[in-house]
Amino acid sequence: MNIIQSIHIPSNHVPLPNLSDQIGGDISHELRTPLTVIQVALDILSSGKLGNLSQQELRMVDIATNNVDRLMRLTNAIEGEPEAQTTFLSREALAQLRLERDLKMALIRNDFTLCYQPIVSLKQYEILGFEVLLRWQHPELGTISPEQFIPLAEKSNLICDIGTWVLQTACHQLRTWQEQFPDNYDNLRISVNVSSRQLANCDLITQVEQILQETGLKSCNLVLEVTESAMMENAVTAKKTLEKLQSLGVLVYIDDFGTGYSSLSRLCELPLNVLKIDRSFVQKLNSPSGNQVVQAITNLAHTLGLEVIAEGVETVEQFLKLQLLGCNQGQGYFFAKPLENNAVTKLLIMNKY
C-alpha cells in the first residue's frame, strides 16, 4: 500500500501514452524493485533449497508467483507498452487509483468539510435540527461528491476514520451553537449518517460515548441515521448496536426508507425513533399513486410510534401536501440548501427571534 501511495499520478488530462511516460519513472523505482526481490524469494522457495514444501505450500507459492508476474506486467503497462495499457490500465482505473491514494491524505490535509441542512417542523415551521453532509474539497480536482468517494472509503477501514472525524466535528459544532445561544437551542439535534461498516466494525458505541463526554453534548441531541440497506446488510449486528445506542439516549433514524428491501416484520423489531421518506417518493406527490405511497408510509410509521421526516422537499405544493398527509418534519431546498457553519450561525440568529 505504501508503494501505491508514493506513486505520483499527474492531475492534468493527457493522452494515456503521455501519462504513462510521466509516471513510468515513479513506477520503476517504487514498484519494480520490490517486485524483483519478491520474485527472487519465490524462486528460492520453489527450488527446494530451503527444504521441501508441502503441496499446499507449493500451491501458495504458485499463486504468489502468478500475482507478482501480473503486477510486473502492470508496470510494463504503465511504462509504455500499448497492448498492456489496454489490458491492465484504463484511464478510469488511473482516476480511481488516484482518488484512493488522495482519500488517504484528505483527513491529514483537512480537505473534508461539513455542511448542515436544516430539518424543519412542518407544523410550527421551526428548525428542529440539521443533517450533516460531508464534502471533499480536493486541492486539485475541486469538489468531489460523496457518491464518488464514500464507496471507496467503505471498501476499507477509511470509512471508520472519516466517520469518527465527522461525528467529532459535528458534535463539537452543535455544542458551540448551543453555547452561543444558551436559551434557544438546547433541544437542537444533529444528524450524522452511519455506514454498515461503522455499525459492524468500528467500535461505534465506544466512540459515541467518548465524543459525548468530550463535547458535553447530551445524548438526546445526537441522531445517527442509518439507511435501510445498511440495517439489512447485517441485521443481527445492526440491531444489537442500535439497541445499545438507544440505551445511551442517542436517537436512531432510518434513512431513505422505501428504497431498500426490509420486511415489515424486521422494521418492527428495529429500535428506531424516526423514519425518513426517500426524496424519490416526495417527487411523485403530484400523482395519486405518489400521494398514496407517502400516506401509507406515514401511517405505518405513526402506527409503530415513529415520527416522519420527508426528504427532498423542493416546492410549496409538496410542503402543503406533506402537511395534509400528516408528515411531521421535512428537509430540502424549499427550506434551505446545505449550509456551511457560518451560514448556519446567521440562520440561528434570525430564527431565535
What is the pLDDT tens value at each position of the chain, 353 positions in all?
A: 333 333 343 444 434 344 444 444 444 445 555 555 565 556 655 666 556 667 666 666 666 666 666 666 666 655 555 454 445 556 677 677 778 888 888 988 899 999 999 999 999 999 999 999 999 999 988 999 899 899 889 887 789 999 999 999 999 999 999 999 998 899 999 999 999 889 887 789 999 999 999 999 999 999 999 988 888 888 888 889 999 999 999 999 999 786 665 566 677 788 999 999 999 999 999 999 989 999 999 999 999 999 999 999 999 999 999 999 999 999 999 999 999 999 999 999 987 65
- The single residue listed with the C-alpha cell 449486528 is 237
Cell, residue 178: 448551543
Cβ burial 80-99 (10 Å sphere, 16+ → b, else e): ebeebbeebbeeeebeeebb
Instruction: Check if the beta carbon of residue 318 is closer than 8 Å to that of residue 279.
Output: no
- In this predicted structure, what is the pLDDT of residue 59? 66
Rounded (10°) angle between helices 288-303 and 316-324: 50
Residue of 118, 174, 164, 144 lying closest to 313 (CA atoms): 118
Rounded to a whole number of angstroms, the CA Rg of the chain reads 25
- In this predicted structure, what is the pLDDT of residue 76? 61
- In this predicted structure, what is the pLDDT of residue 318? 97
* Beta-carbon count within 10 A of 206 CB: 9
Contacts of 215 (CB under 8 A, 6+ apart): 168, 171, 172, 175
> Over the stretch 94-151, which tens digit does the pLDDT of each residue have?
677 778 888 888 988 899 999 999 999 999 999 999 999 999 999 988 999 899 899 8
Q: Within its chain, how far is the Cα of 29 from the centroid?
A: 34
Q: Is the pTM of this model over 0.85?
A: no
- In this predicted structure, what is the pLDDT of residue 98? 77
Cell, residue 40: 527472487
- Hey, what domains does the chain have and what are their CATH numbers? 2-89 (no CATH), 103-351 (3.20.20.450)
Cell, residue 17: 501514452
- In this predicted structure, what is the pLDDT of residue 180? 94
- In this predicted structure, what is the pLDDT of residue 75? 62
